[in-house]
Every structure is written in structure tokens, then in C-alpha cells.
Chain A
Amino acid sequence: MTEEDTGGHKAPPVSSMKMVSKTVSNEQMKQNNENKILTKNRSLSQMKKREELAAYLFLSPYLISALVFTIGLLAFAFYISLNRWNIFTLPKFAGFTNYIKTFKSPDFLRSLLNVFWYSLVVVSFQTAIAILLAVILNKPVPGSSLFRTLFYAPSVTSSVVISMIFWWLYLKTGFLNLAIGKLLGVLHVAWKNIDWLNDPRGLFQLIAGLFGKKIPYSKWYFTGPSITWMAIMFQAIYTTSPTFMIMFLAALQNIPPSLYESASIDGASPWKQFTRITLPLLRPIIMMVVVLGTIGTLQLFDYVKIMTSGGPLGTTLVPVYLIYRETLGTEGPIRAGYGAAMAFILAAIIFIFTYLQRRFIERGTEHYF
């Protein structure tokens, strides 16, 4: 399993060839210098040994850390996932029963569905908004760097701060209800205040309700994301869009202005310039942002732990929260093996998702490179 995971990310032969050719030229340069240094009565092999020793000394803190905290922990995680273990008594070997149990657990399946919704909505909106913000900021006006700083500032604060502020805004007597009420008041529509963080009604349930149909809560796979879940999605989009805006902005500033100049001479409208020049040239960065966004959103934990603890009615359960719950035994006994198995399954899903996204986004981009 782990071998497969890392195997998917090995550099392809093309890149390693390029890198080799570059190091060769460097090496030749160093060779020349070494010939000069040789006058200091040192043999070449001695020099090489000295360099190698130095390199490994420089690297030793990282190597120790990687050995313990990456390789060691990965192996340990796999071992734990094969056992039944409450971490105090001796572990009991259980084979793959933890993995099988995971797929049979309604909580886990539900958490997967929730996090899929979350990932789909948050990644698409934050990417689109980030591009929009970057395009707006890219037109140089005096003081645009000040605006860049201002746009970005909210996203340097911690998830706990964001959660607290939005929680307060989401209260039944909070500012969100006030704002929506005022807006609808202009259209003479009455608004009944919603307790945003404690409303399990799902999106599809609400839509079905408009047509006089009912979807019961027991069919959780048809209810769609709940109102609470959508509120959390909104807050996530709000805070992460500026982060990705910065990446798009850096990429936009590298598009040569001459491209736009010649396009406007040819009579291309701003919209055409955006779809024919900006978007295709941003494609590699879009891929990076989508992949990073997916990795981040599928591992959501903070907002759920702080604001909802998976409620109401399990509509905001996410896998990492379940893993945390099993490992610390906050609800029931500690089941470390079960938690570790869930973590591996989630990691596998993340790898599959990001791999597919890369295939999908990169298809048809070859002719740009």
C-alpha cells in the first residue's frame, strides 16, 4: 500500500535526465576548481570523502527526523492498523479486519460522503474566486501592493479565530441573519432566523420540500449537505481564497504583457483575452491549486472539532474527526488500530483523487508547453 503511494510520485525519466545533464555541467565546474585546490597537497579521493562526510553531517538532523517521523511512523501506522489495540495493553493481531470494519461502518461512509461534498464545493469556489481576485489585483494601480496585503491578511489568522468569529456571526441572533433579513426585506420577503450551526436540514431535502416531497433523515445519502455543513463550507471558502489568490497573482505577473497588447490590437475583447490567454497560461497553477486544495479539504478537522463535533445528526462528520475520536477514545474505548486503518483508507482516497485530477486537468494542455 505505502509502496504504491510513493511509487505514484517518483519523478519520470524525462525529469531525471534533465537534472543529470545540469549536475554534470556543475560537476565539471567544480572539477576545474578542485584542480586548483589540489595544489594544497590533498588527493582527489580525500577531497571527495571530505565532501561526502560534510554532506551527511549537514543532512543528519533531517535524516534522523525522516527515519523516525516519516519512515518509522509509516511502518508503525501500518503495524497498528493490523492490530486491535487500546494502546495500554498488548496489541492483538487482527489481520485486515480493521479495514473491513471501516467499510462497513455507517459513520465512516457518511463522513466520506460529507467530506466529498465539502471538497467539491470548497475547491471549485475557492479556485474560481482566487482567480477572480488575482485578475482584479493584477491591473497595476498605485497602492495595489497595499491591497494585496489587505486581501491576504484575514487568511493568516488561525482556524480557531476564524471559527470563533464565524460562530458568533452564525448565531440565531447574529449578523448573518440580520444581513439576509435586510436584503430580503428590500424584496419584501420575510426571513425566519436560522440557527446556522445547528440545522441538519439538507440541501436536497429543502429542494424536495419546495415540490412538496419529503426525504427522511434516515436516507442520509440523499439529503445532500446540511445547512450547517454549507455554513462551514462558506467560511472555508472565505478564508482560503486569498491564499490561493497569491499563487495566481505570482503566475499572472509572469505572463508577458505583449500577449495582451497584440490580442487587443487584433480586436479581442477582455473576456476573450481572459479565456484564450489568461486561463490557458494559468493551467499549471490551477492544477497545483486544485490538488493542494483537495489534499487540504479531504483532511478537514479543525472547523468540525471546534464548531460542531460532527453534529447536528452527523451531517458534519469527517474522517479525520473520526480518526481523532477513535485514537483518543473521546467517545467510547480507544481503538488505535481502527483509527490507523481509517487513516490509510483516507490517504489512498486522497492519492486517487489527486491523481485523477492531474490526469484530467493536464489532458489537452500538452500543446501549451
Chain B
Amino acid sequence: MKEVPSITFRFLQEGKKMNEDYAIKDTVKDSVKDSEKEDIIDALKNDGENPVNSKPFSFYFNLSIKYFILSAIAITLFFPFILAFFGTFKSNAEITLWPPKILPSKWLWENWLITWKTDLGRGGTFPRWLFNTAFLSIIIATLQVVFCSLAGYAFARLRFRGKEIIFTFMISSMMLPGVVTLVPKYVMMAKLKLINTYWSLILPGAVEAFGIFLLTQYFKSIPHELEEACMIDGASYFRIYRTVVLPLSRPALLTLYILKFQAMWNNFLDPLLYLNRVNMWTLTVALMTFQQQYKAQWNLTLVGAMFNAIPVLVIFFFFSRYYIEGVSYSGLKT
């Protein structure tokens, strides 16, 4: 019987394949450019003779149908957000009124200000929650990029005893369901008195198998020649890592940074477990508690949701290429 390849193997294979695929894609891109050139040349030749016939009516018809379908899907996917955005300007009475209307009858801009000025006492203010969230996201994403790139460099370039074993262990640990470590991690944090400190999230989140795997695959795809030249000049490994490998892999580092920033920004379970003092909350925990305690205040809750969603959406729109590449490259979201 043929042995079924394990997930581990599958991941390795995917990684290799993707690298090759990138190469294929590049050649395809080039060929597209060439065909475009031909089109342009054709168009120039045909200029003034019969430019209408070169693109038949059915072409434009099909194109408009395609745009219609694409826009319909995009609007459907965005619709809940649009409704919620308009909801933030409604009065508290209007927002749960039957039948619901899309636009508010009176635009209450002050809802956003009221939410911003939320104060639950003992340091539990909205700006503080925003700071906690941003601080943790930036610190964890930065540490991930530093530590994962160090380990990734070792896996991609250096030879050492136990490399295969450690790498296989790392890949297998990615398959471990996170729920298994939930209880002992909580007990450990409680015993070390790290509950309600930033450390409880930073220490376990500073380096992860996923990031190392992503960067290892990327480093392997970078050509060796430059590093070898540096080796001959007698540069240390750290120097090569810092001055050659890191600058060359900026896209991959950015991808990891954005993925980890977003993962921490959206993290709910860990802050819920470890940060339960009101001044240590992150936006996600604050939003949930706020909603469960003041069930009637739907307009303010939706403002809170917008504050939570807009930063990641803005980052996503600016860096969507890196983001999408990261997700499709690895096949893992968090």
C-alpha cells in the first residue's frame, strides 16, 4: 500500500511548490506583457481603419455582466459593515426600532465622542484600551519578526546537528490544537503572578513556529551568491543575516509583521484570560464586556466595533498585497 503523505510533508511540499510557482508566475507576467505589446502594435496598425470591430459588442456585454456579479458580491460582503456604520449615528431609541431604516433620521455625530470618553473608573478609559491594544500588537509583531527571522536564517542557511529533528518538531507543533495548552498556560501565568501584566501575552507570543516556517521558506528562495561573497570576506553570520538577508527579504518580514499585528489586534481569548483588570483590557475584551453590561446601548457598542475594525481595515487596504500573499502562501491565518 502506498503511504499517505502526512500533513507535515504536505506543508513542506506546498512551500517548495509555491517557490517554484512564483518563478512560473514571473515568466507568465512577462509573456502577458509581450502579448499586450502585440495588442498595442495591432491597434496602432488598425488605427483609423476599423477600430470598432476589433472589440465586438459581446465582449463589452460579458465584461459588464462580470462587473455586475463582482460588485454584487462585494456589496453583499460589505453590507453588514455599512449598516453598522450608519447605525453608529442613530439615537439609542432609533437603533432598535421596528422597522429598521438604513440611514439615521437624525445624524448624532456625538455618539463617537461619547464612546471615546467612556470611563469605567480605575483607569478603564477608552484611550487606555486603545493604547493597550496598539502597544501589545506592535511589541508582539516586532518581536515575532526579530526572533522568527533569526531562527529562520539558521534553518535556511546554517548546518548543525539536530536540524532535521528540530524542524520536524516545529512543523508538528503547528498542528497542535491550541486548546491543549489553555489550562496549563493559565495556571502558569497565575502562579508566576503575570496575570494583568503585558508579559502574559508577550512571553508566549514573542516567537512562533508559523513565523519561522514562513521566513525559512522565503530565505531559502533568496540566491546564495551575495552571502558567499561576504563569507569569503570573513563577515560573521550575524553580520550576513543583518546586512544581506534581512534587507533582501523585506516583503516576507512585512507580511509576517502585518499578520501578527492583526492577530494580536483581533485576539480575544488571551486578553480575556490574562488581562481582566479594567485598565489592562484590550479593545476586544472591552467591547464584549461593554456590550454585556450595557445591553441597551447599541449605538455606542457599534461605535466601539468601528474603532476596533477601522485600524485593521486601513492597514489591510494599504498592505493588502503582502497580506494576501502571506495567507495564500502559507495556508494559515493566525
- Could you say which residues of chain A place their CB within 8 Å of the CB of B208? 65
Is there an interface contact between A354 and B7, defined as CB atoms closer than 8 Å?
yes
* Beta-carbon contact of A80 and B187 below 8 Å: yes
Contact A80 B184, beta carbon cutoff 8 Å = yes
A132-175: contact bitstring with B at CB < 8 Å (1 yes, 0 no)? Answer: 01001101010010011111111011111101111111011111
* Minimum Cβ distance to chain A for residue B236 (Å): 8
B44 at the interface (CB under 8 A from A): no
Which of A292, A323, A340 meets B332, CB within 8 Å? A292
CB interface residues, B 69-120, toward A, < 8 Å: 69-70, 73-74, 77-78, 80-81, 83-84, 87, 95-100
Q: Which residues of B contact A168 (CB under 8 A)?
A: 84, 87, 95, 298, 301-302
Separation of A291 and B7 alpha carbons in the complex (Å): 9
Given A323-B182, A358-B4, is A154 in contact with B77 using a C-beta cutoff of 8 Å? yes
Q: Is the CB of B212 within 8 A of A164?
A: no
CB pair A141 B6 closer than 8 Å: no
Contact check: which of B18, B172, B207 meets A61 at CB < 8 Å? Answer: B207
User: Is residue A223 contacting chain B, with contact meaning CB distance below 8 A?
Assistant: no
Q: Are A15 and B9 in contact (CB under 8 A)?
A: yes
Distance A244 CA – B136 CA, assembled complex (angstroms): 27
- In the assembled complex, which residues on chain B have CB atoms less than 8 Å from the CB atom of A77? 180-181, 183-184
Majority-rule SS of B interface residues: helix
Contact A151 B3 (CB under 8 A): no
CA distance A54 to B97 in the complex (A): 66
Q: Do A69 and B73 touch across chains, with their CB atoms under 8 A apart? A: no
Instruction: Judge whether B331 and A288 touch: CB under 8 Å.
Output: yes
* Contact assessment for B172 and A9 in the assembled complex, using a CB-CB cutoff below 8 Å: yes
Q: Note all chain B residues with C-beta closer than 8 A to A295.
A: 175, 177
Q: Does B153 contact A (CB under 8 A)?
A: yes
Size of the chain B interface, CB-CB below 8 angstroms:
121
What's the nearest-Cβ distance from chain B to residue A111, in Å?
12
Residues of the A chain whose Cβ atoms lie less than 8 Å from the Cβ of B95: 168
List B contacts of A301 (CB < 8 A). Answer: 269
A62 and B5 contact, CB distance less than 8 A: no
B236: A residues at CB distance < 8 A: 54
Tell whether B320 is near chain A: CB-to-CB under 8 Å: yes
Check if A208 is an interface residue, CB within 8 A of chain B: no
Q: Let me know if B43 is at the binding interface, CB within 8 A.
A: no
A58 is contacted by which of B2, B7, B151, B291 (Cβ under 8 Å)?
A: B151
| Contact yes or no, B185 A164, CB < 8 A | no
For the complex, what is the distance from the CA of A139 to the CA of B287, rounded to whole Å?
40
A-B contact pairs, 8 of them (CB 8 A): A11-B6, A69-B204, A70-B173, A87-B191, A156-B316, A165-B83, A165-B302, A340-B183
> A76-B188, A151-B73 given. 4 additional CB < 8 A pairs?
A16-B164, A52-B160, A58-B158, A173-B96
User: Ordered nearest first, which 8 A-B pairs have the shortest CB separation?
Assistant: A158-B266, A250-B328, A55-B160, A58-B154, A173-B98, A76-B184, A55-B158, A54-B237
User: Using a CB–CB distance below 8 Å, which chain B residues touch chain A?
Assistant: 2-10, 12-14, 18, 21, 24-25, 63, 66-67, 69-70, 73-74, 77-78, 80-81, 83-84, 87, 95-100, 147-148, 150-151, 153-155, 158-161, 163-164, 166, 168-173, 175-188, 190-191, 203-204, 206-209, 212, 224, 228, 231-232, 234, 236-238, 241, 262, 265-269, 272-273, 283-284, 287-288, 291, 298, 301-302, 304-305, 308-309, 312-313, 316-317, 320, 323-324, 327-329, 331-333
